Amino acid sequence: MAAEPSSTRQTPLLEGEGSASRPGPRDAFRLARRKWRAGERIDMSALARELGINRVTLYRWVGSRDQLLVAVIWNLASHVLERADSLVKQSGAERVIQIVTRFIEKVIAHHGMQIWLTNEGESAMRLLTRHDAGFQPQLVAWLERLLHEEVDAGRLDLPADVHEVAYVLEQLIESYVYLYPITGEQPEARRAEPILRMLLR
């Protein structure tokens, strides 16, 4: 996971630029993202102090801590997905397989993600897997758009509803990314490839 993404649905707190003398919502987001990527816990009181604002202002800008975390993680995840898409040259099922595998690989290897899952496993998995938390539907929607591109171009034939296939792909991603917190087994992205081929053949 890396720097600025090309797109993200949760953007309101990204639109409020501060000034040279006063921070704004975007500054709060950037600071939270930097801390999360470094493996630091996102503490709202500490974040407010570092920005030189009060907690009420911070919550007005970014919503709850959970909302801020989801915005940070989707921001980074969407960048990884777009980057993987730009690097993959294949089409059809192979394009989907390579993008999803690269995404799993990057997430598994990401320092901030592993620290977060280790230190806040239960709440982290809740934010990543519950539909109402916001992250999961955005990932499903991104995968659904990817599948539609290939299906509509005649490069991929799916015998099932595209949205349902996207949901299954998201569930597969979950099963590998959260393997260690759930079972203690070390995940390996390439193990997902044969399963993806079986789903998309």
In this structure, are 193 and 125 located in the same domain?
A: yes
Let me know whether 70 and 54 are in one domain. Answer: no
Q: 57: domain range?
A: 12-63
In a domain, 1, yes or no: no
pLDDT band at 14 (very low <50, low <70, confident <90, very high): low
Cα angle 111, 169, 72; round to 5: 35
Helix or strand holding residue 19 (H, E): none
In a domain, 5, yes or no: no
- Counted domains in the chain: 2
In a domain, 159, yes or no: yes
pLDDT at 17: 52
Q: Which of 166, 172, 170 lies closest to 195, judged by CA?
A: 172
Q: What average pLDDT does this structure show over 134-147?
A: 97
- Percent of the chain surpassing pLDDT 70: 90
Residue 1 pLDDT greater than 60, yes or no: no
Same domain, 93 and 35: no
Total count of residues recorded for the chain: 201
Max CA distance (Å), the chain: 57
- Of 48, 63, 78, which residue constitutes the final position of a domain? 63
Give the pLDDT confidence score for residue 3 in this predicted structure: 35
Residues in Cβ contact with 35 at an 8 Å cutoff, skipping those fewer than 6 apart: 41, 42, 47
Q: pTM above the 0.75 mark?
A: yes
Tens digit of each residue's pLDDT (9 = 90 or more) over 154-174: 999 999 999 999 999 999 999
